Structure 1
Amino acid sequence: MRKLLIGLGVLVVILVAGAFVGPLFVPADSIKQDIAREVAKATGRDLAIDGNLKFRVLPAPGVSVSGIRLSNAKGGSAADMLKLESATVEVALFPLVTGNIQISRIVLSLPDILLEQYADGTNNWTFTPEVPAEAGQASGADASGGAQGDAPPIRLDDVMIKSGTLVFQTPDQTERIENINVSLGAGSLQGPFRVEGSLDARGFAIDLNAAIGELVEDKATPVNLRISTVGAEVDYSGVLAGVPDAARLSGQVEVRAGDLSALVATLTDGPAPAALRGKSLEIDGALAANDMAISINDLALRLGEDRATGAVDVTLGEAMAANVVLNLPQLDLDRLLATTETSASPAGSGGGSAPSDGATQNVPTEGGFSIPAGISATLETKIDAIVYRGGIIRHVFLNTQLEDGTINISQAAAQLPGGSNASVIGFVSAADAQPKFEGQAELSADDFRALLQWAGVDVASVPQDRLRKLSGTLALTATPENVTLTDIDFGVDVSRLRGGVAIALRERPGFGVGLSLDKINLDAYLPVDGTGAAPSANAAPPGEAAPAQSPAPAQSPGAGLAVLDTFDAILQLKVGEVVFREQRVTGINVDGTLQGGELELRDASVASLAGAQAAVKGRINGLSAAPKADVEVSLDAKNGDRLLALAGVDAPVKVGAATLNGSLRGDMQDLTVDVTLEALGADLKTVGTLGALALPPRYDVKLDLSHPNAAAFLARVQGEAAPSGKVPGALVVSAAARGDLSATELDANVSVGPGEIAASGNLANLASGSPTGTMAINASHPDIVSFARVFAPDYEPGRSDLGPFALATNLTVSETSMDLAGLDGRAGPVSFQGKANVVTAGVLPNIVAELTTSEIVVDDFLPAQSGSGSTSSRGGGGGQSSASAKPAGERWSREPIDVSGLRAADADIKLSSPAITYTDIRVDNPRVAVTVNDGVLDLTQLSGNAFGGGFNMTAQLAAREVPTMRYKMTVEGADAAKFVGGGAAGASGDRGVMSVLDLLFPVSDVTLASGTLGADLDIASRGRSQFEMISNLAGKGAMRFTDAVVDGINVCEISDQLDRLNGIEGFLGLVGSGRGGQTRVANFNGRFDMANGVATLPQQRINAECAAVAFTGTTSLPAWVVNIQARAGFPAHPEFPGVVVEQKGPLDAPNTRLVNVNEINQFVVGKAVGTVLRKLLPGGDQQQPSSGGNSSQSEDPFKNLLEGLIRRR
């Protein structure tokens, strides 16, 4: 600045002298020439004054000139170094009188200055005077103030520069400073100096304020400087000493920014990191500088609440060197990044202004990356603790050295959470005008889980004993074009990964991967249930429907393949062993190349995939345009069940050995498919074409399935053993599908021996999940029994010549329902017609069906009874039938009752028929109505005519947490003989309602020959198993009949015989007189109550001709035992004790016992038949013992005789 002011002073002196003398004697043009000549002598440059030159003497001397140009140095980029639109100089008049020059005002308008530094080290601001060296030196000495000579003192009160421009240009870059508006002042050419004003540098408005004291040799001069821009200020306060030969600065420098985010946003012309919002910046240090070195000691830096200390030393000269030391006790990144999700703060606030529109930024000259070879530097950074993600990174060190054009990272290390250590060493150099890093990295962790959790990886689902140890190293080479990872050697727990990865960072990236993993047990890393799935954060709570989502836009199926044409890759991957779902997978090998949109799989194979061998090889060309495939797949599994287990498929059947071979060839818009699968003893072949990349995908395929034994195949599918016996025929399935997911034509045929099932039609909207269309279904078989044996191989109906089976219907499928119209068919002798509809729009499907059939004989379809059938429920002896009796604990199952099927669908089904016959029961005009709603099955109607009367039954079964059931039955006006006779034909212990009615006839095997009967039954229960259901039975039942005739006993004959007891013959006649014949009963009302599965018969009485029978007792269904006692009395013979009989024991084989045999014995003795009896007894011809003997021997044989007679009945 001093030289600039001296030059300016010379020019002013010339102008001032011209201001006084010129107007008086010389024309203006001549003065211009003189001025130009003097400037040329002083600078060696040409000065041109293109405008006017005006002088003024009063009120103050002055001069103004316009259009000034000063030529540039030779070889400069422009013709002129200085352009000045106008200049005005005013000189104070009174100081001139005293010999001083006091310039009160200088105004320079629109100066444009070009400063150039050339490649050879020269510049354009060093002038070459035209005068001799000696003169120049003397002149320079005078100007510098070293020898004042005769030069008058010069004082500059105010030098104003308006709208100036300064351009500084080097071979490497160009800096432009615009809008220079400053005011300068100088007490003399040696100071003091002041500068204040503003300018725009790199597009930013900068305010300047500087003051320098008087420059005196060997005396310290105060220096104060303030620069402010964009809310930031730089202040320097110190002294300048050692001028002119050994100038040096020392003082304090301060940097302040109230909001660093505003400064960064303005400087970068973009959003600043939100972490800087509201963070103030403070930098303080002791600055010392001379022409050899610059240092900042006691450096203190504060950013928000974080602080650092350090020092900077820079040695200047040809071999520049710098040393930087920075220490931080703690850096809280969590606090700094707490607001990273918010938008960046607005640019430019607090005292500065944003870059002006159109402002010229720094324009770097094109050139490659280089590291200065003539500079050496070191950087030592130490951070004691970094708080990040809630953890602490300790002992962070970064030591780097710059030497000979190479940056050496000698130490970059840190202790991470989880007992982890990370380090990097290497070199950064310039290669081919690009940066290049070569180094090694090492990472180890004693608690890998903790490291992953700190990094934000959720490992909660991984068992605690896994992800414990980590150790590994790798070598890294990186340039802007390539990243190469070699010597990768990482171990996690007991697994080890080795190999290398290369990445080409170009417009079309390239990857080279060669990795080898020795083993991994995935089961050990999965949760206990074997899955790693976690509920979606957006999943609806249980019981609530998922929120509706907008359908994803349709995307071409080829879009995924097109991505493969955006990069190139070579992949070589080997895995020694993988354990997944308890299955071992060994020998995994993948060898492929992706190059220029062509994928080649040379080998994608598994040596043992859960015991199977699998391989895929081939190529796919034209991935981005029209992909074409030539791929072969093969699979050979000795045990397909292990393979399915590996895939997570819970197969309902044992698959056994399976093989698959196939090929996919051709344009993927029209791909030829040929695949053969052999499994379950069947062959499945699929051939045709598939438009895999069409939208929607197209297909024209045919499937053929064959098996020599349809029943064996079905049994295999159901997981059952292959049936023996008759073979129903071979299974042959042929199906064809043509079209796409929007419209498909189906044609299928299933043959089972001579039988056939055919379905054909059209379906649309398959992709929507709610297809629509129509299908014609026809099924037929000449023998329904053979057809049924396909599904039940052991089926042997009561009638073997049932006849053919036929079914025909038209299926119509809509988005909300399926309709079976024109349902017509035959099942042996039974024809059926009707219709059915399944509504699928609700939460559950709703089935509505109406069927009308011809007469149904149920026994014709039921399995034939083997053997001679069951014995009567009333055994005649004291023993128990081993064939029919079971322990109570084994009779009722304790397995849970599966009623979940009731929640699979709702239903409303009605059935009508002329008659239904079951065993000896014929129901005419039956009507059946069943509904299922919300897991509750209601038999709303089961009515008809049977046994000459009518009956109606309703029932309910509810699928609740604890299933419940209830049924009611009413019988009115039935023929008692038919009703009871029909019920008696059922099997003992399995007769349903009849078993309950049997409780009213506990003593003998009599039957009703005639009469009118009615009955009521109301039973309910609940339970999770059959045993609980039986144990919780509760309700009541009743039976009534009038004008009845009991066949099998003549009670009046027994009563008459009691009058003829005149000996043993008479008594034997009493026993046998009642056999056969009939007894009339005027009426009877019987009832029972049931609780906890136990039926209780209160005291009840049957009033018949000549006799009355009273009985009471209980029957326990859970325990399967009966305990009933009956007494038959004769009103005409009140002295007769009657006959008391007891039934006790298992329901299907009770013991029958005569209870009052002693009373009957005494009654007979009273009739004076003792003598006759003694003749029948052993030793009857002997003398009768005395009265004092034992009489029990005469009583026991009689007792045994009576009980035997009773039992024989």
Structure 2
Amino acid sequence: MKKVAVALAVLIVVVVAALLVAPSFWDWNREKGRMAALVKEHTGRDLQIVGDVSLRLLPTPAFSAREVTLANLDGGSDPAMVRLEELQVSIGLLPLLRGEIQVKSVTLVKPEVLLEVLEDGRANWQLAEAAPAAAAAPGGELRSGATSAAQPIRIDSFLIEDGRLRYRDARSGREELVSGLNAELAAASLVGPFAADGAAVYGGVPVEFDFNLGQLVEGGATAVSLSLQLPQAGASGTFIGALSRHEALRTLRGRLQAEGADLARVVAALPLGAGAPGALAQPFTLTAEVSASNTEARAEAVRVTLGPLSLDGRLAARLEGEPDITASFSAKTVDLDALLALPARAMREGEGNGSTPRPAGTAAPPSATGSAAAGALPRGFSVGVELAADALLYRGQTLRQLQVAARLEDGRVDLTKATLQLPGSSDLAVIGTLSDGAQGARFEGTVAAESDNLRGLLQWLGVDVAVVPAERLRRMALNTEFEAAADQMVLRNADLRLDVSRLTGGAAIALRERPGLGLALNIDKINLDAYLPQQDAAASVPTPSPSQDPAGPQEQAPPAVAPPGLPLLGRFDANLDLRVGQLTYRGLPFEGLRLDATLQQGGIVVREASVADLVGSRGQFSGSLANVDRDPSIDGSLDVSVSTLSRLVKALGLSTGGSLPLESFTLSGAVNGNREMLRFDQRLAALGGSLHAAGKLQLPAGAPTVAAALEFDHPDLTILLRELLSDPGMPAGLGAAAVKGRVAAGGTEVALSGLEGRLAGVELLAGDLAFSLSGPRPKITADLTTGEMPLAALTAPAAKGASSGNTRSVGPATAPERWSRKRLDLGALRVVDAEVKLSAKAIRADKLRLTNAALEAQLADGVLELRRFTADSYGGALSVTGKADARDAAAGLQVDAEVTASNVELKSLLRDLADTERFSGPMTLQSRLTTQGASQAALIGALGGDGTLTGTVTAAAKVEEQAGALVLDILGKKVKEIRGVTDSTTVLFGAFAGAPAKVSGSFVVEKGVAQTNDLKVRGRDATALTKGSVDLPDWLLDSTTDVVRDADPDNAYLTARLRGPLDEPNVAIGGQPFQRSPQPPAEESGGGQPPTAKDEPQHKPTKPEEILKDGLKNLLKGLGG
């Protein structure tokens, strides 16, 4: 029996051992399908086990599976929700035999868990509920209604090795990542106590944690504690409190505490915390009494310290519905100087976003917030914040009463209050709203600032205002609407008052790759001189002298070549509408300034750039400027009006070196081109006339050149020249002027060509003028072809001086007044050279007329050479050559001239010069004259030379003279007393009247006196010989003409003596006809009695004789004068 018992025991042991050992030899890989089906039944997800599956019961029950994957929701971002490289589970055997579950260890090797919310709101951690079991499992069936809490389960160790947890919300684009998770968890039961500790990397920041939770009880409190460590930042935080559980309420209360030696290291370790300000590099602490429930959370007695800074406040949050958080913090004093004085801390290797550098070629981890939500304000909750500080110490002064109140709600932040008292009796207030939309965050609000001592405020801000006069920068007040966004900043309805000036308008800045600027400003008045440095202050700045250069003389670097444009203007676009009512700059009073322009892609469209008044002048430009950033060009119109040029020049501080030729003018027209060539079409209107110029201005590296067509027009050239030359003695009656041509100028050369029109009564048929500065003296070259030239009009005296020129000389006493003794100004002949050619259809001086005139002259080095002057003169020809030397300033002018007049018709000449036609016939004059002197009187007094006069002359008697001769001839036969007169009349008229008479003679001029001894007029039966002199200095004539008959060649038949002023000499006639014979005695017979007085006629019986004598005088004057 004993052996049977022993055998039975051995058999039982063998059977039990077989049952315990058999699972180890079972191929559990064949059970993968059943395992997947079981998971599918309870979760609704597919389970895939790629690696081996094993199960053993001895020595302890253990299960393992490799390469396990749990499928994700349909439509998820990843096919797998959970991936495990290996799962290991070990359960205690003896407790299991007692009906207890003691999990000795659970190990997850490299688990990857994805928790995500899809765009339709489904969460992948929400698993499908398991269907009711239809039949019991092969190993038995669970009791219906059993709960996990009713079954004692203990977990001694739950290990996670190198885990990775991702959270993704497709609706907001938010992504979170926990990587490098290594932790161990323990639970005495499913209701606690719980303990967990480990380390992970969140957002690139290594974190160590230690969590403990007591056993959960209903209706009581459970102790809870959490400790966090940031190893790289040297900071830690703890929470110690209690968790209370009631039927409808869960509450958490405790004390929160955090501290660290360097807040900057904490911030630098956080995402986006690189480059933390040095002010944060100080020890910090945080303490608060925290309470939370299902409906609300509070943090009372909150205190935050950062170095010497201390903030006190409270937090409250309503958790029902949409969470609502309110916070209030205050500080007594905040020393910003001490905070900002701390140097910025350089980030050490391994700090910041991640503890180790990312291997090359790997993708960056997702940011804390997705790109879709970048810059978006959070929604789904509201936050209200109030901040207050009694004093802020900044830049050595105290800022007082900082108050800020803001609220975040429905994706919008309302800044209801932000005020601060600044130094300089200044206040700042800001209110507005920060919102977000499709274009990102946007702030809209108003800014109000006021200062009673702006100078002090600016000095506090570090702005150097020493150069601004002390009476300026005193008061300032600003009110404006303000808008700021990621893409632009806008000021609207701005109203700035600065001292006595007021600025209104708005501004906008587009913050894009190519910035844009918009300005619409209106300034009522501003005196820039009142804000600019005073001249004496600027002059007091010492300028280093060359001797102070410690480096000594050294080679000068070549000057930098300035860019042709303004590159800055090519980097942004702008719209400008600027108006200034009154502006004073450098003493210039500008009024009505306006700039309306657009800058785009380096081009400027100027709709209006104008000044309404500048000391009586105005100007305006409109058009466009292209490529201002690299190669500027201009295309527009200019309109300038100057009322008083001298006043404008004086206001501009320019030096004119004398009087200005113009006082008022207008200039208008088009201008276009670039820095190399400028085209223009301008009209200058001044002094009642106009000058139109259209052409181009070349602007090479050297001297500029200009080529243009000119049109000049003026109704009265006399008035124009009197104004331009400031000479009231200009010739009167020059008349209208209208000339056109072309001008070409460059460097030292100026040329006028193609001149035509009418100038000073002269028709200009063709003409070229040139002016050159290339030689030792300026040189003028002229080649002109004209119509008739009225010299009288060109040389007519001014009206006020006309009477003096018409005063007749009555004798030698007035001679000094005829020739001026004022020294001639010959300087112009020495400072300029000239080449002149002139062709004129006619030259007219009063009634004197020369036709087909041609002139060639040269002026060089003070010597004027008349190479040729020819003209047709009254049927003859006139030729003049000569030279005038002005090189010797002391000697004056030395003149040498030759004059030839050939075959000049006397009748036409005397008709024009003396208004008589009594003499006719061709005459020829040849003369050579010289003189030297420094005045008119000296030149006349030094006149010398000689000449000849030849030709024929025909004298015609007047009708009354012929009638008188006939009467006298009749009477002479009857009256013996007048027979001599009739005889002389008969002789003269017979010899010289009505028939050509040959003329010949010569003359010599010495010291201004012309003398002749052989001037003869050979008549038919008589010869008139004239001897005499013409004294030009004294303006006197003294001549004697003897008429000799061929019948009596040794005795003068008649003698005419001319003496007195040259233009009105006294004439005396004598000779044989006027010598009376002795009276014979009266005959007694014949009965004739002498007539009595009463028988004498009442009129003078000699009147016919007087008439004849007058004729004789005129005839003899013509023959001898």
- Per the alignment, do residues 474 and 633 of structure 1 end up closer, same or farther by CA in structure 2, a change over 3 Å counting? same
1:495 and 2:501 correspond: yes
In the alignment, what sits opposite 1:672? 679
For residues 544 and 684 of structure 1, what CA distance do their matches in structure 2 show? Answer: 55
Q: Any residues of structure 2 matched to 1:507-518 within 5 Å, and which?
A: 507=513, 509-518=515-524
In the alignment, what sits opposite 1:524? 530
Is the contact between residue 779 and residue 832 of structure 2 (CA under 8 Å) also seen in structure 1?
yes
In the alignment, what sits opposite 1:184? 185
Matched letter for residue 186 of structure 2: G
In the alignment, what sits opposite 2:305? 302
- Measured after TM superposition, the shift of residue 707 of structure 1 is 15
Q: Any residues of structure 2 matched to 1:761-772 within 5 Å, and which?
A: none
List per-residue Cα deviations over 1:999-1040 (Å, max 9, x = no partner): xxxxxxxxxxxxxxxxxxxxxxxxxxxxxxxxxxxxxxxxxx
Is the contact between residue 313 and residue 329 of structure 2 (CA under 8 Å) also seen in structure 1?
yes
In the alignment, what sits opposite 1:364? 370
In the alignment, what sits opposite 1:1016? none
- Per the alignment, do residues 512 and 219 of structure 1 end up closer, same or farther by CA in structure 2, a change over 3 Å counting? closer
Is the contact between residue 19 and residue 62 of structure 1 (CA under 8 Å) also seen in structure 2?
no
- Measured after TM superposition, the shift of residue 380 of structure 1 is 0.5
For residues 438 and 282 of structure 2, what CA distance do their matches in structure 1 show? Answer: 41
- Measured after TM superposition, the shift of residue 68 of structure 1 is 1.6
For residues 468 and 143 of structure 2, what CA distance do their matches in structure 1 show? Answer: 88
In the alignment, what sits opposite 1:465? 471
- Measured after TM superposition, the shift of residue 29 of structure 1 is 3.3
Is the contact between residue 385 and residue 395 of structure 1 (CA under 8 Å) also seen in structure 2?
yes
1:588 and 2:588 correspond: no
Q: Secondary structure at the match of 1:353?
A: coil
Matched letter for residue 383 of structure 1: A
- Per the alignment, do residues 270 and 154 of structure 1 end up closer, same or farther by CA in structure 2, a change over 3 Å counting? closer
Q: Any residues of structure 2 matched to 1:160-179 within 5 Å, and which?
A: 160-171=159-170, 172=172, 173-179=174-180
Structure of higher CA gyration radius: 2
List per-residue Cα deviations over 1:1104-1131 (Å, max 9, x = no partner): xxxxxxxxxxxxxxxxxxxxxxxxxxxx
In the alignment, what sits opposite 2:155? 155
In the alignment, what sits opposite 2:48? 48
For residues 697 and 208 of structure 1, what CA distance do their matches in structure 2 show? Answer: 83
In the alignment, what sits opposite 2:242? 240
For residues 94 and 140 of structure 1, what CA distance do their matches in structure 2 show? Answer: 25
Q: Any residues of structure 2 matched to 1:262-341 within 5 Å, and which?
A: 262-268=265-271, 271-276=274-279, 278-338=281-341
Is the contact between residue 744 and residue 752 of structure 2 (CA under 8 Å) also seen in structure 1?
no
For residues 281 and 650 of structure 2, what CA distance do their matches in structure 1 show? Answer: 59
Is the contact between residue 336 and residue 394 of structure 2 (CA under 8 Å) also seen in structure 1?
yes
List per-residue Cα deviations over 1:425-462 (Å, max 9, x = no partner): 22334455644433322111111221222233322222
For residues 352 and 511 of structure 1, what CA distance do their matches in structure 2 show? Answer: 41
Q: Secondary structure at the match of 1:453?
A: helix
Q: Secondary structure at the match of 1:106?
A: strand
- Measured after TM superposition, the shift of residue 231 of structure 1 is 0.7
List per-residue Cα deviations over 1:569-627 (Å, max 9, x = no partner): 1x333222223444432222333345676644333222211221222223346767987
Q: Secondary structure at the match of 1:329?
A: strand
For residues 715 and 231 of structure 1, what CA distance do their matches in structure 2 show? Answer: 93
In the alignment, what sits opposite 1:983? none
Is the contact between residue 54 and residue 65 of structure 1 (CA under 8 Å) also seen in structure 2?
yes
Q: Secondary structure at the match of 2:23?
A: helix
Q: Any residues of structure 2 matched to 1:414-813 within 5 Å, and which?
A: 414-430=420-436, 434-507=440-513, 509-529=515-535, 540=544, 544=548, 551-552=559-560, 555-557=563-565, 559=567, 562-563=570-571, 566-569=572-575, 571-594=576-599, 599-620=604-625, 629-649=634-654, 652-653=657-658, 655=660, 657-659=663-665, 661-668=667-674, 670-674=677-681, 688-690=695-697, 700=706, 746-748=748-750, 759=772, 776-779=775-778, 805=830
Q: Secondary structure at the match of 1:361?
A: coil
- Per the alignment, do residues 798 and 479 of structure 1 end up closer, same or farther by CA in structure 2, a change over 3 Å counting? closer
In the alignment, what sits opposite 1:220? 222
Is the contact between residue 66 and residue 86 of structure 2 (CA under 8 Å) also seen in structure 1?
yes
- Measured after TM superposition, the shift of residue 672 of structure 1 is 0.4
In the alignment, what sits opposite 1:108? 108
List per-residue Cα deviations over 1:797-843 (Å, max 9, x = no partner): 999999964799xxxxxxxxxxxxxxxx96799xxxxxxxxxxxxxx
- Measured after TM superposition, the shift of residue 305 of structure 1 is 2.9
- Measured after TM superposition, the shift of residue 704 of structure 1 is 10
- Measured after TM superposition, the shift of residue 382 of structure 1 is 0.8
- Measured after TM superposition, the shift of residue 66 of structure 1 is 0.9
Matched letter for residue 220 of structure 1: T
In the alignment, what sits opposite 1:386? 392
Q: Secondary structure at the match of 1:124?
A: coil
For residues 342 and 891 of structure 2, what CA distance do their matches in structure 1 show? Answer: 83
List per-residue Cα deviations over 1:1139-1183 (Å, max 9, x = no partner): xxxxxxxxxxxxxxxxxxxxxxxxxxxxxxxxxxxxxxxxxxxxx
For residues 665 and 35 of structure 2, what CA distance do their matches in structure 1 show? Answer: 107
List per-residue Cα deviations over 1:762-793 (Å, max 9, x = no partner): xxxxxxxxxxxxx65445799xxxxxxxxxxx
- Measured after TM superposition, the shift of residue 386 of structure 1 is 2.2
For residues 177 and 205 of structure 1, what CA distance do their matches in structure 2 show? Answer: 10
Q: Any residues of structure 2 matched to 1:986-1065 within 5 Å, and which?
A: none
Is the contact between residue 103 and residue 154 of structure 2 (CA under 8 Å) also seen in structure 1?
yes
Mind listing any 5+ residue stretches in structure 2 that lack a counterpart? 1-16, 733-740, 754-768, 782-819, 834-859, 865-886, 894-1121
- Per the alignment, do residues 248 and 451 of structure 1 end up closer, same or farther by CA in structure 2, a change over 3 Å counting? same
Is the contact between residue 241 and residue 255 of structure 2 (CA under 8 Å) also seen in structure 1?
no
For residues 118 and 327 of structure 1, what CA distance do their matches in structure 2 show? Answer: 42
For residues 694 and 176 of structure 2, what CA distance do their matches in structure 1 show? Answer: 74
For residues 616 and 64 of structure 1, what CA distance do their matches in structure 2 show? Answer: 90
List per-residue Cα deviations over 1:1066-1093 (Å, max 9, x = no partner): xxxxxxxxxxxxxxxxxxxxxxxxxxxx
- Measured after TM superposition, the shift of residue 142 of structure 1 is 5.6
For residues 614 and 199 of structure 1, what CA distance do their matches in structure 2 show? Answer: 75
Is the contact between residue 569 and residue 602 of structure 2 (CA under 8 Å) also seen in structure 1?
no
- Per the alignment, do residues 164 and 378 of structure 1 end up closer, same or farther by CA in structure 2, a change over 3 Å counting? same
- Measured after TM superposition, the shift of residue 491 of structure 1 is 1.6
Is the contact between residue 261 and residue 345 of structure 1 (CA under 8 Å) also seen in structure 2?
no
Is the contact between residue 658 and residue 679 of structure 1 (CA under 8 Å) also seen in structure 2?
yes
- Per the alignment, do residues 584 and 29 of structure 1 end up closer, same or farther by CA in structure 2, a change over 3 Å counting? closer
Is the contact between residue 263 and residue 347 of structure 1 (CA under 8 Å) also seen in structure 2?
no
For residues 637 and 654 of structure 1, what CA distance do their matches in structure 2 show? Answer: 16
- Which deviates the most, 343-352 or 628-637? 343-352
For residues 737 and 44 of structure 1, what CA distance do their matches in structure 2 show? Answer: 98
In the alignment, what sits opposite 1:903? none
| TM-score of the pair, normalised by structure 2 | 0.58
Q: Secondary structure at the match of 2:278?
A: helix
Count of aligned pairs between the two proteins: 758
Is the contact between residue 280 and residue 304 of structure 1 (CA under 8 Å) also seen in structure 2?
yes
Matched letter for residue 168 of structure 2: Q
1:127 and 2:127 correspond: yes
* RMSD of aligned alpha carbons: 5.3
For residues 399 and 505 of structure 2, what CA distance do their matches in structure 1 show? Answer: 29
List per-residue Cα deviations over 1:858-880 (Å, max 9, x = no partner): 97699xxxxxxxxxxxxxxxxxx
- Measured after TM superposition, the shift of residue 360 of structure 1 is 1.0
**Percent of aligned pairs with the same amino acid:** 28
- Measured after TM superposition, the shift of residue 474 of structure 1 is 1.8
For residues 802 and 473 of structure 1, what CA distance do their matches in structure 2 show? Answer: 70
Is the contact between residue 443 and residue 473 of structure 1 (CA under 8 Å) also seen in structure 2?
yes
Is the contact between residue 161 and residue 181 of structure 1 (CA under 8 Å) also seen in structure 2?
yes
Is the contact between residue 369 and residue 433 of structure 1 (CA under 8 Å) also seen in structure 2?
no
For residues 706 and 282 of structure 1, what CA distance do their matches in structure 2 show? Answer: 90
For residues 30 and 244 of structure 1, what CA distance do their matches in structure 2 show? Answer: 48
